[in-house]
Amino acid sequence: MTAVESAEPPEPGAHGGGVSEVIPRGGAVIDSGAEYEQLMPQTRRALLRRLALAQADGRAPSMTGAVVRGGRVVWTGARGTVDGAVPHGDVQYRIGSLSKTFVAVLVLRLRDEGLLRLDDPLGVHLKGLPAPDVTIAQLLAHGAGLSAEPRGPWWERTPGGLRPEPADLFDERPRPHPAGRRHHYSNLGYAVLGALVERLRDGTPWGAVLRREVLEPLGMARTTLTPTAPHAQGWAVHPWADALLPEPAHDSGLMGPAGQLWSTTEDLCRWAAFLLRGDDRVLDGASLAEMRTPAVPPEGDGWSAGYGLGLQLVSKGGRRLAGHTGSMPGFLAALWVDTDQDVAALALANCTSGLPIGTVAADLVETVTAHEPRIPEAWRPLPEPVDEELLALSGPWYWGANPFALRLTGGRGLELVTLSGNGRGSRFRAESDGTWTGLDGYYAGESLRVVRAPDGSVSHLDLATFVFTRGPYEPADPVPGGVDPQGWRGAP
């Protein structure tokens, strides 16, 4: 068995036309934290049909896809051939800008270790480069205003040795846009982030840092900087004839962090499971959620797409997806995760163009969630003992006359929900000083405090200066501005 256990693929042509569909026996376990039944036959057929249509319409020499749900590989499929056989899950493809998601995780690890701050200017850590005032966060989110591409010939098709030093990446106009004003996708910016990782890891090459800190803990032994057999050949497909032309696969050197990596379906299933759930050995769920938060305004008039800290964000069919697409000469790749449905999907192909790979991967997610919506996890009571003081805080609270309810959740957490349909709710994390910090919505990052009366009883809640009381505008309540002493009354 390979790195991720799965059923052996059928012989080439088992489904006709060089198609294979791998149905893992019970699901290939990546993380057994959740259980899902095997996908229904009609769902599997719909997935395979979407993959087959994409490969045929896009004229890709080969294409593979996979779906991860509940931490398990629940479906994989393949179409076409590599070296005369239907590609299996251990065949490497070049994944292009999906490499950026790995680099972003390395940078967030440095932040979590206290070696940098996301609002640090670049010049604090790297000297001698143009635009030293752009921040790390702006680089991660393509908001630094840097040029899209490095100096010199097309970097994806030329050896990286043409630009031996970081300063060689920049031309005479390194920043065509003001920092922080717009999203301007920059491969150059991720080359800079790779150099930053090397600087803060004592000169260790970024690929070696990635191997040690991310790939090995996650069991991704087949994700590499250069191809290792078995791997697909990258092809260009003639626009007006069914003819192929091999594409080069140079080592892109300092530009590697922008798109150098090769990987397999099996390894990327592990990466998808990680992006959905986190892994404390690599990066926790809170930092991953931060990566999925929009960091810059999207390009264009619509808000159907944006960018977080190293992750592309799209809205499709009412669902929010995070992940990345990728392309290098001869290859296309895409991986999307839907955290609400706990589903991820990926697609890989060995052609330069002609295939909307991002749409294909998104459609695989949509197919599963439409055919088989997520089944909620079983409700479970809080573990004993229940904190009586916290329990006493639960129940109805009023902001003025607007009713809310406070619920006690696990880990001494709280959740504020509106009972009227109007107002702002949020989840709150308990802090060591007896306060709570908002996790989402309007109150994200804001403090919730329990204010006590002189006798020790609870007087009210203070949430970012808003006062919540047990009754709606009671005369004795400590409402800023006071309450009319005559209280509630009928119409005069």
The Cα–Cα gap between 292 and 105 comes to: 12
Could you report the per-residue pLDDT of 9-39, keeping only the tens digit for each? 333 333 333 445 544 433 334 443 344 458 9
The Cα–Cα gap between 213 and 204 comes to: 12
Could you report the per-residue pLDDT of 151-178, keeping only the tens digit for each? 888 888 888 777 888 888 887 788 888 8
The Cα–Cα gap between 317 and 415 comes to: 28
Sign of dihedral through CA atoms 52, 58, 62, 65?
negative
Fold of 1-379: Beta-lactamase (3.40.710)
pLDDT attached to residue 176: 82
Burial of 413 (0-12, 13-18, 19+ CB in 10 A): middle
Could you report the per-residue pLDDT of 229-264, keeping only the tens digit for each? 999 999 999 999 999 999 999 888 889 999 999 999
Could you report the per-residue pLDDT of 90-130, keeping only the tens digit for each? 999 999 999 999 999 999 999 999 999 999 999 999 998 88
Element housing 92 (H / E)? strand 92-94
The Cα–Cα gap between 127 and 165 comes to: 12
Answer whether residue 477 shows pLDDT above 80.
yes
Tallying the residues shown for the chain, one arrives at 492
Q: Which residues contact 7 (CB under 8 A, 6 or more apart)?
A: 22, 23, 24, 25
Could you report the per-residue pLDDT of 408-428, keeping only the tens digit for each? 998 899 999 999 988 899 999
Cα dist from 302 to 134, 297, 306, whole Å:
26, 10, 10
Full DSSP string of 303-360: -SEEE-SS-EEEEETTEEEEEEEEEETTEEEEEEEETTTTEEEEEEESBSSS--HHHH
Q: Which two tokens stand for residue 479?
A: 């409402």
Rounded to the nearest integer, the mean pLDDT of the chain is: 88
Q: Which of 271, 255, 242 is nearest to 333 (CA)?
A: 271
The Cα–Cα gap between 330 and 354 comes to: 11
Could you report the per-residue pLDDT of 299-342, keeping only the tens digit for each? 545 557 889 999 999 987 778 999 999 999 999 999 999 999 99
Q: What DSSP character marks residue 146?
A: -
**Intra-chain end-to-end CA distance of the chain, in Å:** 82
Instruction: Write down the domain spans for the chain.
Output: 1-379, 388-468
